[in-house]
Chains A and B, each alone.
Chain A
Amino acid sequence: DAGITQSPRYKITETGRQVTLMCHQTWSHSYMFWYRQDLGHGLRLIYYSAAADITDKGEVPDGYVVSRSKTENFPLTLESATRSQTSVYFCASSESGGTNEKLFFGSGTQLSVL
C-alpha cells in the first residue's frame, strides 16, 4: 500500500529556474492539496483540487501552478523559482470534501532555491 508519495525528496535549484514537484496517490482520493511549511508558520495551503481538471487557489498561490489531468497525480510547478519559495512542500489527499474527512500527507519535498 504505497499511499501518497512525493518526489523528489530533496531539490536544490537556482533563482529563476522552473521546477516541478510530483505527488502521486494510490487511494483514488478525490481531493488533493499542496501545502508549504516554514519556520514560524503553520502549514499554508497553496492549491487544492477537488477532482481531475478541477483546481482552486489556496492561501498562498502566487508563483505556483498546478494541474491534475489524472486523479492520482497532482504536480506543483514553480514557474520561476525565488528564494522566498525555499520551503518544505507537502502533498496531501482526502477521500472527499466532507468537513470531517481525514487528511493524509506525503513525506514532503525539501526545496532550496539559491
Chain B
Amino acid sequence: KNQVEQSPQSLIILEGKNCTLQCNYTVSPFSNLRWYKQDTGRGPVSLTIMTFSENTKSNGRYTATLDADTKQSSLHITASQLSDSASYICVVSPVYYGNNRLAFGKGNQVVVIP
C-alpha cells in the first residue's frame, strides 16, 4: 500500500482561480514533508519543505500546510497562472533515513486554462 496518497489525481482550473491539493500519508515517525513541482518533460523542483513541527510554509503563491496529528498536508495555489500547469508531488521523509528512504506520492496533475 502506498504510504503517500494524493488527491485529486487531476484537475482543471481557470486562470486566476485558487486550488488546493491534498496529501495523506502513513509514514511515521517522519522528519519532514515536501512538495515538488514537476513540469512536463522536466525533473521535479522543490517548492516547500516542512519539518514535523511546522504547520505552514509559503513560497510565493504556493502555501503548504501540515497537520501531523491527522497526517494530512495540503498545497494551496493562489491566483493560478498558466505556468502552474504541472504535476505536484508530495514527498515524506521518515526519521533517521534522510533522502534514501523518501516516500513519493503519485502526484496531482494540474491544468490551468485561460
Decide: B102 and A100 in contact? CB cutoff 8 A: no
A19 to B16, CA, bound (A): 45
Top 6 A-B pairs ranked by shortest CB distance?
A105-B43, A42-B104, A99-B31, A43-B104, A97-B98, A48-B100
A102 to B4, CA, bound (A): 19
| Contact residues on A (Cβ < 8 Å of other chain), bracket | 20 to 34
A74 adjacent to chain B (CB < 8 Å)? no
A103 adjacent to chain B (CB < 8 Å)? yes
Decide: A45 and B98 in contact? CB cutoff 8 A: no
A99 contacts which of B89, B97, B107 (Cβ < 8 Å)? Answer: B97
A44 to B100, CA, bound (A): 10
Q: Taking chain B's interface residues, is the majority helix, strand, or loop, or is none over half, making it mixed? A: mixed
Q: A43-B89, A99-B95 are in contact. Are A108 and B41 (CB under 8 A)?
A: yes
The A/B interface has a contact count, at CB < 8 Å, of 67
On chain B, the residues within 8 Å of A71 by CB distance are none
Decide: A97 and B99 in contact? CB cutoff 8 A: yes
Most buried by B among A42, A92, A98: A42
- Closest Cβ of chain B: how far from A109's Cβ, in Å? 10
Q: Taking chain A's interface residues, is the majority helix, strand, or loop, or is none over half, making it mixed? A: loop
A63 to B107, CA, bound (A): 26
Closest residue of B by beta carbon distance from A104 = B46
In chain B between 56 and 106, which residues have their CB closer than 8 angstroms to a CB of chain A?
Answer: 89, 93, 95-100, 102-106
Q: A20-61: contact bitstring with B at CB < 8 Å (1 yes, 0 no)?
A: 000000000001010000001111110010000000101000
